[in-house]
Amino acid sequence: MVYHDPYTPERKYYECRDCGYRTTGTDKPGSCPECDGLVKNIAVPQE
């Protein structure tokens, strides 16, 4: 199943600095849902 959504205008990537948890979305999460750490915006997703 392909996760790419052509109707999503702009999907940003966020990564937790503490545990490496990653999420995507148009709104910045306030904190990491896993460890409540600081989540930063990463411009280029890395596999």
Binding site for Zn ion (CB under 5 A): 16, 18-19, 21, 32, 34-35, 37
CB of 39 to Zn ion, least distance (A): 7
- Please tell me the distance from the alpha carbon of residue 10 to that of residue 2, in angstroms, as a whole number: 17
The burial class, CB within 10 Å (0-12 / 13-18 / 19+), for 43 is exposed
Alpha-carbon distance 37 to 47, whole Å? 21
Nearer to Zn ion, 8 or 29 (CB): 29
Report, in Å, the least distance between residue 2 CB and Zn ion: 27
CB of 4 to Zn ion, least distance (A): 25
